[in-house]
Amino acid sequence: MLTEIPTTFSSLQLSDEDWKYKTERSEGCCLGLKDGVCLYPRGKVLGGSSALNAMIYIRSYEDDHEHWVKEGNVGWDYESVLKYYERFERGGLNISKIREDAQIREMIIKSYQEMGFQERSDTRHLGYTDTPFTISEGTRQSSAKAFITTIKERPNLYVVLNAQVARLTFNAQGVNGVEVLINQKLIKLKASKEVILSAGAINSPQVLMNSGIGPKEHLQSLGISIKKDLRVGEHFQDHPVFHVLLDVDEEFLRPRSKEQTIDDIYQYVMYRKGYFANNPMVNFLMHLNTNENGEFPNLQVNHIPFPRNSREHMKIFYTGFNYPPDVQKAIFESNEKNSNMIIMLKNLKSKSLGRITLRSADPFDYPQIYPNYLSDDQEEDINTLLYGVRFIQRLMKTKPFADANPQLANLNLPNCEMFQFDTDDYWKCTFKNYVTHLHHPSGTCKMGPESDPRTVVGPDLKVHGVAGVRVIDASIMPRIVSANINAATYMIAEKGAELIKEEWSVRHTEL
């Protein structure tokens, strides 16, 4: 039930609807988080991660697709993919903007205007905007809601819940089905045409590797016999995120009273309107580029208000990002004294590459996630975030923002005590320790021509050199798009569906 109510989205993490993955420990990122790892939530529910995501809906950009085409992905240029976006935006999926009347919205708009920014539009990609959400009439619209509920009576559709695919099965021609665990029994399901793998960027590579399709040396080390040596699981990308905590005056961010909350519940239960029909955490976005001539964003910013004494709410937020108890304590102490605003800085064009590997030959063992955030040679990822922090400091100096008396909260972070607060070195240390991610895994079954040894599927989404299987999910992105990736994943699905239909309708005619 909680997946339906937009406001409760962050309490879905670590619930039964979450696979509750964690990254592996590394020397370069997530160091200051609990146990030195980032949490990695994934939807374990019909609709997948779209049933627990923050519902932000932003399409990919022209320059994302220019890059995809440059890497040999014919048919994936912006002009060509637009029709797929338009198809489901006009069809099953409803996208809404919820304009908040909060004083803070006005203040942020005026501050950005003072810095010379305008509202983002279809042609102006940088600037501020009320967030487009996959929320329909006050209710989350997951992919299951948007695309399956409407066709659930079709006789040729059968959905099995609580079923986990172990691996693909093969005959002499190629893939001919899957082995799947249902009610504690491993059974084989046969495909009469082809298998479509859509387990997401953590689990599609896992299923392929369980099936012997993956990096030879890795599979051999686990005793898995090789069907095809491909760089499955490599080229992992995400959008790293860093939270800047500001102290602001209490009268600027007023706590919601109990009476107001009761009214909010009434409004939601009766009319699906008001506070609970919204995701106030991310309901205002800013897009910018660290290069002053840049036309497309490489940084996304949102502003989360936490009025004084929001401890319980903050706890859900910071626990979801695995902040350790001592850092959380320092944050709550700050929130007892004043109101806070968290500014989320999200690097949309991260260069660092991570990897998914198998933990063991057991197909149900959790895969290993090595995100390698901030590991690019030129330190571009770190410098983008540093730009973001300095940008926020300029924002804090604008007249409307300055009226809220904002101060960077100095939490005396244990791992960065050796650096003077607010120096570049201090921030670089905090990034290595507290950068997490937007839960946007992608690229682990990278799409590209067979001649490119880094790729796993071709532009028709078929796995290179293995007949009878396609991958259709966020894992095929040749490079992560510079937007929250759910919209682009739907686009990939819509185009993938068309590729399948095109192929089989031709074959049908031939017969």
Ligand X SMILES: Cc1cc2nc3c(=O)[nH]c(=O)nc-3n(C[C@H](O)[C@H](O)[C@H](O)COP(=O)(O)OP(=O)(O)OC[C@H]3O[C@@H](n4cnc5c(N)ncnc54)[C@H](O)[C@@H]3O)c2cc1C
Return the residue of 135, 165, 304, 358 that touches ligand X, per CB under 6 A.
Answer: 165
Among positions 22, 303, 440, 470, the unique one binding ligand X when judged by CB under 6 A: 440
Instruction: Establish if 98 lies at the interface with ligand X (CB under 6 A).
Output: no
Distance of alpha carbon 167 from alpha carbon 180, whole angstroms: 7
Q: What whole-number distance in Å separates Cα of residue 3 and Cα of residue 143?
A: 12
* C-alpha to C-alpha distance for 346 and 438, rounded to whole angstroms: 8
Q: How far is the CB of 363 from ligand X (least distance, A)?
A: 8
* Contact between 44 and ligand X per CB under 6 A: yes
43 binds ligand X (CB under 6 A): yes
- CA distance linking residue 3 with residue 454, whole number of Å: 37
- The residue from 32, 48, 127, 305 that contacts ligand X (CB under 6 A) is 48
Query: Contact region for ligand X (CB under 6 A) — 38-46, 79-87, 219-227, 263-271?
Result: 38-46
Closest CB to ligand X among residues 406, 441: 441
Tell which residue, 51, 70, 56, 58, has the closest CA to residue 13.
51
Binding pattern for the stretch 117-156 against ligand X, x by CB under 6 A and - elsewhere: ----------------------------------------
d(CA 352, CA 239): 10
Our CB check for ligand X shows the closer of 160 and 269 to be 160
Element containing residue 490 per DSSP (H, E): helix 486-510
> Can you tell me the distance from the alpha carbon of 42 to that of 14, in angstroms, rounded to the nearest whole number?
10
Q: Smallest gap, in angstroms, from Cβ of residue 118 to ligand X?
A: 24
Give the CA diameter of the chain. Answer: 75
Residues 346-365 that bind ligand X (CB under 6 A): none
Q: Enumerate the H helices of 282-436 as residue ranges.
A: 311-320, 325-337, 380-397, 399-402, 424-434
Binding of ligand X at residue 199 (CB under 6 A)? yes
Q: How far apart are CA 500 and CA 151, in angstroms?
A: 18
195 bridge partner residues: 469
> Which residue in 13, 34, 42, 443 sits closest to 239, CA to CA?
443
Closer of 207 and 219 to ligand X (Cβ): 207
Please name the residues in contact with 436: beta carbons below 8 A apart, sequence gap of 6 or more: 30, 33, 38, 39, 240, 241, 242, 243, 321, 322
Judged by CB, which is closer to ligand X: 386, or 487? 487
**Angle between the N-to-C axes of helices 78-90 and 486-510, in degrees from 0 to 180, rounded to the nearest 10:** 100
Is 211 one of the binding residues for ligand X (CB under 6 A)? Answer: no
Beta carbon of residue 46, minimum distance to ligand X (angstroms, whole number): 7
Q: Which of 42, 120, 227, 495 binds ligand X (CB under 6 A)?
A: 42
Which of 5, 38, 39, 54 touches ligand X by CB under 6 A?
54
Out of 52, 209, 213, 481, point to the residue binding ligand X (CB under 6 A): 52
CB of 272 to ligand X, least distance (A): 20
Which residue is at the shortest CB distance from ligand X? 48
Contact between 285 and ligand X (CB under 6 A)? no
- Within residues 477-506, the interface with ligand X by CB under 6 A covers 484-487, 489
Min. distance of Cβ 508 from ligand X in angstroms? 28
Residue 232 marked in a binding site: no
CB of 244 to ligand X, least distance (A): 19
Least distance to ligand X from the beta carbon of 80, Å?
20
Are the beta carbons of 140 and 51 closer than 8 angstroms?
yes
- Determine if 41 is a binding residue for ligand X (CB under 6 A): yes
Taken in order 412, 414, 419, 424, is the CA torsion positive or negative?
Answer: negative
Where b means 16+ CB within 10 Å and e means fewer, 194-227 reads bbbbbbbbbbbbbbbbbbbbbbeebbeeeebeeb
Q: Does residue 69 have a known ligand-binding role?
A: no
Virtual torsion, Cα 458, 460, 465, 469, nearest 10 deg: 130
**Contact range with ligand X by CB under 6 A, out of 35-43, 244-252, 392-400, 496-504:** 35-43
Residues that bind ligand X (CB under 6 A): 13, 41-44, 48-50, 52-56, 164-165, 198-201, 203, 207, 439-440, 473-474, 484-487, 489
Which residues carry a binding-site annotation for FAD?
A: 45, 165
Going by the annotation, the residues of the binding site are 45, 165
